[in-house]
Structure 1
Amino acid sequence: MNQMRHGRQKTPSAIGSVLRFLGVALAVVAISSVAVVAYAVTNITTTISDNAVDIGGATPPPPPPFLGAFDGGFNMLIVGTDNDANQGEDYGERDATLNDVNILLHVSANHQDAVVVSFPRDLVIAHPECHDPKTDEYFDAMSAQPLNEAFSRGGLGCVVDTITNLTTVPIQYAAATSFNGVIEMTNAVGGVEVCLVDPISDPDSGLDLPAGLSTVEGQTALAFLRNRHGVGDGSDLSRIGSQQQYLSSLLRKIRSDSTLSDPTKLYGLATAASQNIIPSTSLQGIDSMVSLALTLKDVDLGKIVFVQYPVSAYVEDPNKVQPVYSLAEELFSRVLADQPFTLPADSTAPGSTIAGGDTPPTEAPPATDGAPPATDAPTDIAETPDVIEGLKGQTAAEQTCSSAFSG
Structure 2
Amino acid sequence: MGTDDADSSTPTGQFSKHTETTAVGAARHLGAGRRMAGWLKAVTWIASLALLSAVIFAGYWFIRLQSNLSTAPLNAGSTPTGTINQATDRMQILILGSDTRDGANAEYGTSDDSTGYGQSDVMMLMDISADNSRVSVISFPRDLLVTIPECTDQKTGEVYPERSGAMINEAMAQAGIGCAVDTVNKLTGLEVDHFMMADFNAVTELSNAVGGVEVCVSDPVYDPDSRLRLPAGNSSVQGEMALAWLRSRHAFEDGGDLGRIKAQQAFLSWLTRKVTGDGTLSDPVKMLRIADVVTRNLTLDEGFASPSALVTVGSRLKNIDVGKVAFVAAPTTQSVIDPNRLDLAQPAASQLFAALRDDVDLTDPTGTESPTPAPTEVPTTPAATETTPAEPVAPIYDKALQPVSVANGSGVPTRYQEIATALIADGFTQLGEAAAVPAEQTVIYYSAEFADVAADVAALFGIPDTQLIASTSVYGVQLNLGADFATGTQYGAATLPPDVVNQTAGDVVCQQVNPFLIDRG
Give the TM bin, normalised by the shorter chain: 0.7 to 0.9
Alignment of 1:130-209 (within 5 A): 130-209=151-230
2:234 counterpart of 1:213: yes
Of the three residues 292, 302, 315, the one matched with 2:313 is 292
Aligned equivalent of 1:75: 92
- Cα distance, 1:226–1:19 mapped onto 2, change above 3 Å: farther
Identity rate, percent: 34
* 2:89 partner letter: G
Normalising by structure 1, report the TM-score.
Answer: 0.80
Q: Deviations over 1:183-202 (max 9, x none)?
A: 12222222211111111111
Aligned to 1:372: none
Q: Which aligned pairs between 1:2-401 and structure 2 lie closer than 5 A?
A: 28-48=49-69, 50-55=70-75, 56-63=79-86, 70-86=87-103, 87-91=105-109, 93-96=112-115, 97-342=118-363, 382-383=370-371, 388-391=497-500, 393-401=502-510
User: Using CA pairs below 8 Å that are at least 6 residues apart, which structure has the higher relative contact order?
Assistant: 1
Of stretches 23-32 and 105-114 in structure 1, the one that deviates more from structure 2 is 23-32
User: What letter corresponds to residue 133 of structure 2 in structure 1?
Assistant: Q
CA deviation string 1:169-225 (max 9, x = no partner): 101110111101111222222221111111111111011111111111111100011
Query: C-alpha distance in 2, partners of 1:73/1:333?
Result: 16
Structure 2, unaligned stretches of length 5 or more?
1-21, 32-37, 373-493, 517-521
Q: 1:57 to 1:193 in 2, by over 3 A?
A: same
Take 1:61 and 1:264, find their aligned partners in 2: how far apart are those partners?
A: 30
1:403 aligns with 512
- Kept in 2, the 8 Å contact 1:231–1:239? The answer is yes
Residues 332 and 380 (structure 1), Cα distance of their counterparts in 2 relative to 1, 3 Å cut: closer
Deviations 1:224-274 (A, max 9, x none): 111122221111211111100000111111111111122221111111121
Summarize the Cα distance change of 1:331–1:62 in structure 2 as closer, same or farther, 3 Å threshold.
closer
- Checking the alignment, whether the CA contact within 8 Å between 1:111 and 1:299 is kept in structure 2 is yes
Q: Is the 8 A contact 1:342 1:386 kept in 2?
A: no
- What is the DSSP-based 3-state SS (H/G/I as helix, E as strand, rest coil) of the residue aligned with 1:402? coil
Aligned-residue offset at 1:316: 2.3
Q: Is the 8 A contact 1:183 1:221 kept in 2?
A: yes
Distance 1:34 1:150, change over 3 A: same
SS at match of 2:272: helix
What's the secondary structure of 1:282's corresponding residue? coil
Larger mean Cα displacement after TM superposition, 151-160 or 379-388? 379-388
SS in 2 for 1:170: coil
CA distance in 2, matches of 1:21, 1:267: 32
- 1:315 to partner: Cα distance: 1.6
Partner amino acid, structure 1, of 2:512: S
Quick one: distance in 2 between partners of 1:176 and 1:95? 15
Taking the aligned partners of 2:83 and 2:230, their CA distance within structure 1 comes to: 43
Residue 380 of structure 1, CA deviation? 7.2
Query: Is the contact made by 1:342 and 1:388 (CA closer than 8 Å) also made in structure 2?
Result: no
Q: Which moved more, 1:158-167 or 1:395-404?
A: 395-404
TM-score normalised by L of structure 2? 0.63
Larger relative strand fraction = 1
Larger Rg: 2
**Unpaired runs of 5+ in structure 1?**
11-16, 64-69, 345-377
Residue identity in the other structure for 2:95:
I
Distance 1:397 1:169, change over 3 A: same
Q: Closer, same or farther in 2 for the Cα pair 1:381/1:109, shift >3 Å?
A: closer
- Paired with 2:247 and 2:368, the residues of 1 have a C-alpha distance of 40
Question: Structure 1 stretches (4+) deviating beyond 4 angstroms?
Answer: 5-8, 17-30, 378-381, 383-387
